Amino acid sequence: MPNSRKRRVEVCFSPSQYHLYKQEFEIAVVIDVLRATSAICAGLEHGIESIIPVSTIEQAREYQNQGLPAAAEREGKIVEGFDFGNSPYAFMNPELKGKTVALTTTNGTKAIEIASDMPMVVIGALTNIDALCAWLVEQDKNVMILCSGWKDKFNLEDTICAGAIADALIDSNKFKADEDSTIAAKFISRSAKENIFSFLKASSHRRRLKKLNLNEDVKYCLTPNSVTAIPYLVDGQLQKLQFEFKAKSLA
Ligand code: MLT
């Protein structure tokens, strides 16, 4: 396809830079590999009907008071008074099947809220990367990949995932990238590809989660393609997109 007809895919490293990118894109892919978006993908894959992402603990508590299962995480820990935080394994609980769950996390749900003025918001993680890329390639739309980062700072794990998505879309020959952030994300992702786990050994959130004994969560989140669910935002709730993914590795 000639370059002039290609759609754009770009990586935004932090929610604090979202305003610099947002005008030119129709789809936002929000990523928080460790662990919010991996947990959301796991939940919808395992039968949760919908997830309401909220940015504050108070909002999550309101839903809890209305009788909804509610999850809250801050600094990697479960917030007091809530049954679970954002461990992906908690979102696989069979008791949550068919239910609507409210969720607030330090960075991930905040990034989703920031991106919610985009015509379409979908959720990405390493765990759903091939299905997500296959769906994105079928859309004739400009795609912005928003990394949730850590408190508005750059982080490695989201960048690795974002770079892999950008690489896969550009490989499809339907997308091009102009921004240096996208080029950097692609290079980081390629360097990490062979062993993401060891590449991230020294990364800040991996260290934070290790201290909290959450290594199993990290292993789950860094293992690509365990699910095919693609969550998307509809009326403030995340639901599973209807898309039949035919397994063929793109990422
Ligand atoms: C977040 O949203 O900041 C993360 O998911 C934090 C975590 O891993 O607990």
Sign of the torsion angle spanned by Cα atoms 211, 215, 217, 219: positive
- Cα of 4 to ligand 1 centre, how many Å? 38
- Cα of 132 to ligand 1 centre, how many Å? 21
pLDDT at residue 250, as a whole number: 45
pLDDT at residue 246, as a whole number: 81
Residue pair 197/223 in contact (Cβ under 8 Å)? The answer is no
Question: Hey, where are the domains in the chain?
Answer: 3-232
Q: Which two tokens stand for residue 217?
A: 């969560």
Closest protein CA for atom 7 of ligand 1? 76
Q: Which two tokens stand for residue 150?
A: 């850590």
Q: What is the Cα–Cα distance from 161 to 23, expressed in whole angstroms? A: 23
Q: What digits encode the pLDDT tens for the residues 98-117?
A: 999 999 999 999 999 999 99
Ligand 1 atom with minimal separation from the 110 CA: 2
The third-level CATH classification (topology) of the domain covering 3-232 is: putative 2-phosphosulfolactate phosphatase (3.90.1560)
How do beta strands 237-240 and 231-234 pair? antiparallel
Ligand 1 atom with minimal separation from the 205 CA: 8
pLDDT at residue 211, as a whole number: 83
Residue to mutate (ligand 1; options 200, 205, 214; most atoms within 8 A of CB): 205
Residue pair 39/88 in contact (Cβ under 8 Å)? The answer is yes
- For 79-139, the DSSP string reads PTT-SB-S-TTGGG-GGGTT-EEEEE-SSHHHHHHHHTTSSEEEEE-GGGHHHHHHHHHHS
Q: What digits encode the pLDDT tens for the residues 64-85?
A: 999 999 999 999 999 999 989 9
pLDDT at residue 178, as a whole number: 94
- Cα of 231 to ligand 1 centre, how many Å? 17
Please give the model's pTM, rounded to 2 decimal places: 0.95
pLDDT at residue 248, as a whole number: 61
Extract the residue ranges of the chain whose pLDDT is less than 70. 248-251
**Residue ranges around ligand 1 (CB below 6 Å):** 32, 34-36, 73, 76, 86, 105-108
How do beta strands 237-240 and 143-147 pair? unpaired
Q: What digits encode the pLDDT tens for the residues 27-58?
A: 999 999 999 999 999 999 999 999 999 999 99
